[in-house]
Amino acid sequence: MSVSTPEIDIRIPTILRPYTGGEKSVQASGATLAEVIQDLERRFPGMEERLLEDGKLRRFVNVYLNDEDVRFIGSLNAVISAGDNITILPAVAGGA
């Protein structure tokens, strides 16, 4: 990871905290969301598989960059800047 990519805060949902030793918030770095997820996987193995499927964000996992749903700002190509924060929330969904 290049020194120019900022460490940013990532809020981890309950269901993924087993991967982070119970931490609610962790740090990772990358110039794009894809790189941040790669870095998360290095630090917390197993995380990537919970977030991605066939190289794309899983349909029922929501990832927000600051206050925006990343699906509207480039998904995995969303650009990360110093001071940003990421929130991961599984969809609350179901059906009959």
Partner 1 sequence: MLSISQELVDAIWAHARADHPDEACGVIAGPVGSDTPTRYIPMRNAAMSPTFYEFDPMELLKLYREMDDRDEEPIVIYHSHTSTEAHPSRTDITYASEPGAHYVLVSTREELAGANEFRSFRIVDGVVTEEPVQIR
Which residues form the interface with partner 1 (CB under 8 A)? 13-15, 60, 62, 64, 67, 69, 71, 87, 89-96
| CB of 17 or CB of 31, closer to partner 1 | 17
Structure tokens at 87: 């929130």
Smallest distance from partner 1 to CB 65, Å = 11
Contact 38, 48 (CB under 8 A): yes
What is the pairing mode between strands 68-69 and 61-65? antiparallel
Q: Which residues contact 27 (CB under 8 A, 6 or more apart)?
A: 7, 8, 9, 10
Q: CB nearer to partner 1: give 55 or 94.
A: 94
Min separation Cβ 8 and partner 1, Å = 17
